[in-house]
Amino acid sequence: MDHENFENPMEEHSRTIIHIDIDCFYAQVEILKNPNLKNVPLGIQQKNIVVTSNYIAREYGIKKCMQIVEAKKLCPELVLANGEDLKDYREMSSKVHETIRKYSQAVEKLGLDENFIDVSILAKEKLVNEKFDIIGNKYENLEQENMNELCYCGCRQRLSIGTQIANEIRQKIFTDLGLTTCAGISYNKMLAKLVGSTHKPNQQTVLFPENVQGFLRSLKSIRSIPGIGYKTYEVIKTLGIQTIPEVLDYPTDKLQELLGKESTAKIVNLCRGYDPSPVKSSGKPLSIGLEDSCRNINGKSEVEIKFKQLLTRLIELVAKDGRIPTTLKVTVRKFDKSQTSHREQKQTSIPPSIFTNFTSTLTEKSEKKILLIIMKLFHKIVDVNKPFHITLLGLSFTKFLDRLNNKNTIASFLMKNVTVQAVTNLQNNESITMDDSVPDTSLRRTNIIETDGSESEVEPSPKKSKIESFFAKRRCLSSPMDSPSPSKLRVAELRLNSMERINENEVLDCPPGVDPTVFSELPSDVQQEIVNDWKNNQQTSSSASVSRSQSNFSKNNKNSILNYLITDK
């Protein structure tokens, strides 16, 4: 094994990370809304399936995404609550997020019910005068415990303090919001998340370095590792390996041939228990959308009605958010007998003037305008002159116009040395016209290239040949061809240069690179945001070599990797 991507082992344990997961989140929210549901088996229903359930229902064997009929067979007295509108869950989710934020600036949301918290600074502060009692469970597997890994870098004390902080946060969430949670405490995100689910519900668990190897070995396959999804797993399985030790023992260069260098490094590191990815503060979402699946929509007027309903609900969410969106995305899922129900999306920019001074509803004129745009996008996807069969419609607003927008941050404008970013932002803002006319949608027909795998039945050994052709493509793309474009390189260099000039002190006032006179004039919340931005930038840059720009199978978009590997269909 090569360790070329590993950082200083002392730094590997330097952070204290907590992962908090709300127990059966939707069910708890429904019980808070209606306490009568507290002591009955409860399932949350979306369309024909139970998406989650409380622990009473789980005792009957009810599982996530089980058909309603199946669930009723297992538990005839199952009570169902409709959870198709996520509004209440979204609201509770942000309350939880706000509560946690009082303990650290760095809180990262994952879905509606999970949060990562970097409490490194808090833990170090508390080291001075706290006892090191561990609260909650400690992950232990005495046979697997590796005393060579006993660490004296101070992580034991920090993680112990971490258990106290986690306990305090969970207590706070319970008393303020009435929700029970689980927590995992360790020195990186992956380990914190994984270990938290070893004791459920309403418990917490800490993982120390000497137990990491044993813990990882206890996982039955690499599929359990967050970041290794279905596709990656299926690809690695074609090598005849699937457990963590098997991946670690497999020759790295062979893995690289299949997966590319970056992805391989990431996967191998995760298998070792090494995850440098920083806890990124979650700000406002980058998109706000709604979708509704349905049995069968085949008339244009039905489509219009559905979109209108979605739009009214969506506008409320956008109004609550406060920012003004500049692009609109339409999603359509067509009925497809060859099972792959993939969604098709089309997007276009919308004039921001539609949203100027609106509160929670649009003017009728603006609504008509947007519906017209929606239908234009829809016609790009569906030819209404031919019979059609739609099973899902969705709308989503993105690219928000706001001074506190994640990408177009104030901080990036103020950082004198990150000029490239600032220039592109300005260009973007100028390109937004006040023209109310509907954007031109070209008449170009969407010719869908049907890449069905039906010919595989003809081939004697389709699997092998497909894998080989995949290998061939991989090899082509692995070497000189995939160097970044010159323009990308220049931006990257500029970024790096600007980062080098930032020193590493934990100063909480004006960050380096920002004009102090300008900074001092700003309101305190904006100052805070700039400081947070700066911190996030620092964290990402220090781990850039491993975590940046890694998509697993970047190079073969067209036919997904599975097309080469999975043919038995």
Partner DNA sequence: AAGCCCCAG
Partner DNA sequence: CATTCTGGGGCTT
Q: Rule CB under 7 A: which of 290-349 touch DNA?
A: 290-293, 327, 333, 339-342, 344-349
Quick one: which of 350, 324, 330 has its CA closest to 395?
A: 330
Stretch that binds DNA, among 112-120, 130-138, 181-189, 462-470 (CB under 7 A): 112-120
Question: Max Cα separation, the chain?
Answer: 75
Sites for DNA among residues 241-260 (CB under 7 A): none
Using the rule CB under 7 A, which residue among 95, 261, 280, 300 binds DNA?
280
Contact with DNA (CB under 7 A) among 30, 113, 118, 533: 113
Catalytic residue among 12, 114, 262, 529: 114
> Smallest distance from the beta carbon of 228 to DNA, in angstroms?
6
Smallest gap from Cβ 545 to DNA, in A, equals: 13
Q: Find the binder of DNA among 32, 49, 375, 401 (CB under 7 A).
A: 49
Copy the structure tokens of residue 95.
């309350």
Secondary structure (DSSP) of 288-347: EEEEEEEEEE-SHHHHHHHHHHHHHHHHHHHHHH--EEEEEEEEEEE--SSS---EEEEE
Of 141, 287, 338, 363, the residue at the interface with DNA (CB under 7 A) is 287
Q: Which of residues 499-538 bind DNA (CB under 7 A)?
A: none
CB of 229 or CB of 245, closer to DNA: 229
Closest contact distance (angstroms) between CB of 566 and DNA is 8
Report the run of H or E that residue 114 belongs to, with start and end.
Answer: strand 114-118
Which helix (H) or strand (E) element contains residue 163?
helix 155-177
Range 166-195, binding DNA (CB under 7 A): 193
Which residues from 221-240 bind DNA, rule CB under 7 A?
Answer: 225-234
Residue 186 to residue 279: CA distance in whole angstroms: 13
* Stretch of residues binding DNA (CB under 7 A), selected from 10-18, 32-40, 47-55, 520-528: 47-55
Q: Are 205 and 136 in contact (CB under 8 A)?
A: yes
Site for DNA contains 12 (CB under 7 A)? no
Looking up tokens 């101070």, which residue turns up? 154
Say whether residue 539 binds DNA (CB under 7 A): no
Q: What order do you get walking across the sheet with 107-110 strand by strand? A: 107-110, 114-118, 17-22, 181-186, 204-206, 137-138
Q: Pick the piece of the chain touching DNA (CB under 7 A) from 157-165, 167-175, 514-522, 542-550.
A: 542-550
* Interacting span for DNA (CB under 7 A) from 360-368, 491-499, 525-533, 558-566: 558-566
Binding residue (CB under 7 A) for DNA from 80, 86, 177, 438: 86
539 close to 278: Cβ distance less than 8 angstroms: yes
Size of the site for DNA (CB under 7 A): 73
Strands 66-67 and 49-53: antiparallel
118 Rama sector, left if φ>0, alpha if ψ -120 to 50, beta otherwise: beta
Closest approach, Cβ 347 to DNA, in A, equals: 5
Residues 413-432 that bind DNA (CB under 7 A): 428, 431
Distance from C-alpha of 335 to C-alpha of 342, rounded to nearest angstrom = 9
Number of residues assigned to the chain: 569
The verdict on whether 450 is a catalytic residue reads no
Report if residue 553 touches DNA, rule: CB under 7 A.
yes
Secondary structure element (H or E) that encloses residue 565, with its range? helix 561-565
The catalytic residues are 114
